[in-house]
Structure 1
Amino acid sequence: MKGPQQMQDATTAAELQPTEAIIDRIVTRYHKVHRAELPELAALAAKVENVHADHPAVPRGLADVLERMLAELEDHMRKEEMILFPVMLEGGMPGIGGPIFVMRADHDEHEETIARIRKITGGLTPPDDACGSWRRLYAGTEKLLSDLAEHIHLENDVLFPRFENAR
C-alpha cells in the first residue's frame, strides 16, 4: 500500500489531469482490474476455506465477503459508467451532488468491507504453515484492497470535488 507522501504525490499529479483522463484511468486501471481479480479471489478463498476448514486460522467467510463485494462494486461501477461519468464528461449538471453523495456513501461501505476482510484474515497475514494458494489469496487480496483504496481516493479527493465545488 502506498504511504501518505506517495498518495499526496499521486493526488497532485491527478489534479493536473483533465476530467476525461481521470475517468479513463478509473475505468481502465480500476474498474476493469476489479472485475477481473475479484471473481478469481472469491474462488480462491472458497478453495482455501474448503481445503483448510479445520485450520484454526482459516479465513472463514472470506469467500462470501468477496462475492458480496463483487456484487456491490459491480453495481457501483455500473452506475458510475452509465450515469455519473457521462454527465461529468459533458461538464456536469445541476443536482450532480446527489449522485456523488450516493457514490461517496458506497465508498464508505466499501471501506467497512475492507475492515471486515482485514479482520477475517488477521490483517492478511498467512499462518506460517499456509500453502501456496493461501499465500496467493492473501497477496492478491492485499493488492485488491490497495487498488480499491487508490480508486476511492482518486474519486473522492480528485474527481468528485471538481463537480461538487463547481455548483
Structure 2
Amino acid sequence: MENIAQLPIREIVSKDYRAALVFRTFGIDFCCKGDQTIQEACTRKKADPHLLLEKLIEAFTSPSEDHFDYQSWPLSLLANYIENKHHAMIRERIPLIRKFLKRVVKVHGAHEPNLKKIKSLFEDSSEDLQRHLEQEELIIFPFIRKISTDEERKRLLLSPSFQQIRELIYELMADHEQEGACLEEIRQLSNDYTPPAYACNTYKVAFALLEEFDVSMQKHMHLERNILFPEAISLEVAANLN
C-alpha cells in the first residue's frame, strides 16, 4: 500500500482491514474519526507514528482469515454481509450481555460504581441500536439492493425517494458517532475490558462479551460509514452527472 502515512486512516482500513487491529491497539478510532492521518491520530493519542507504521507493515504481511477487499464487493453483497453477520451478532449478544451485566452489578455494583454506569450506557445504547438496525433492514438495505441490480437505477437514484434515503443515511451516520462515543466511554470505564484480579467468572465473561461486541461494532460501523453508505451516495452523484 503506497504512501499510507498520507492517507486518511479510514481509507487505510478500507483497503486492508488487517489495519483495524493495529489502530485499535493504539486506541485510535478508525471509524467515526477516520478522516485523520496517522500523524494526526498519533499526535492526539501521544503515540509513536513510526512504531504504528511498523506494526501496520507487519499486519499487512501476516495471514488473516478476514482479509477481504470489501471495497470491491457489490453493494448488495456488502449489505447482505453486514445484515447476516453483524446485525445477527448484535441481536444475539445484546440480551446475553444485559443478563451478565445485571448479575455483575447485583454482586459488585455497590462498591464499583463504574459497573452501574457501564450497564446503564449499554442498555440505553442498545435500545437505540436496535432501532438503527430496523431502519437499515426495512428501508436502507432494500433500496441499496435495488439500485445495485435494477435496470431503472438512474430513475430510482434521481427520484424523491432517494433524497429521503440519503437524509436517513446521514442520520444513521450520526448514530454511528453516538454509538462510537458510548463504546469509547464503556472502554474507559472498564479499563479496556480488563476485569480486576478478584473478578469471578461471571464478571470476566461480561467484560469478554463487551469487548467482542465492541470489536464487531467497530467493523460494522466502518463498513457502513466508510464504504457502503458513501458508495450508495456516490451513485446518485454519478447519476446526476450523466
Whether TM exceeds 0.5 here: the answer is: yes
What amino acid maps onto 1:19 in structure 2?
Answer: L
Runs (4+) off by over 3 Å: 4-7, 9-12, 54-58
Of 60-69 and 27-36, deviating more is 60-69
Matched, 1:71 2:127: yes
- Residues 57-84 of structure 1, C-alpha deviation per residue, up to 9 Å, x if partnerless? 7512222222212211110000000011
Contact between 1:65 and 1:113, CA under 8 Å: does it hold in 2?
A: yes
Match of 2:190 among 111, 114, 121: 121
**For the residues of structure 2 that align with 1:11 and 1:87, how far apart are their CA atoms?**
27
**For the residues of structure 2 that align with 1:29 and 1:2, how far apart are their CA atoms?**
19
The structure showing larger relative contact order (alpha-carbon pairs under 8 Å, at least 6 residues apart) is: 1
Matched, 1:2 2:21: yes
What amino acid maps onto 2:99 in structure 1?
Answer: A
Residue 3 of structure 1, CA deviation: 2.5
**For the residues of structure 2 that align with 1:39 and 1:61, how far apart are their CA atoms?**
17
**For the residues of structure 1 that align with 2:67 and 2:79, how far apart are their CA atoms?**
14
Matched residue, 1:28: 84
Percent identity of the aligned residues?
Answer: 23
- Residues 16-45 of structure 1, C-alpha deviation per residue, up to 9 Å, x if partnerless? 111121111111110011011011101111
Matched residue, 1:81: 137
Whichever of the two has the greater Rg, that structure is 2
Matched residue, 1:163: 232
- Residues 109-158 of structure 1, C-alpha deviation per residue, up to 9 Å, x if partnerless? 10111122113222211111111111111111000000000000000111
Contact between 1:126 and 1:135, CA under 8 Å: does it hold in 2?
A: yes
Matched residue, 1:19: 75
Matched, 1:61 2:117: yes
- Residues 85-107 of structure 1, C-alpha deviation per residue, up to 9 Å, x if partnerless? 11111116341321211110010
**For the residues of structure 2 that align with 1:66 and 1:77, how far apart are their CA atoms?**
16
Match of 2:203 among 134, 138, 160: 134
Residue 11 of structure 1, CA deviation: 8.4
Please list every run of 5 or more consecutive structure 1 residues that lacks an aligned counterpart in the other structure. Answer: none
**For the residues of structure 1 that align with 2:181 and 2:174, how far apart are their CA atoms?**
11
RMSD: 2.2
**For the residues of structure 2 that align with 1:38 and 1:56, how far apart are their CA atoms?**
22
TM-score norm. by structure 1 comes to 0.89
**For the residues of structure 2 that align with 1:137 and 1:165, how far apart are their CA atoms?**
40
**For the residues of structure 1 that align with 2:128 and 2:218, how far apart are their CA atoms?**
15
Aligned to 2:194, the other structure's residue is in SS state coil
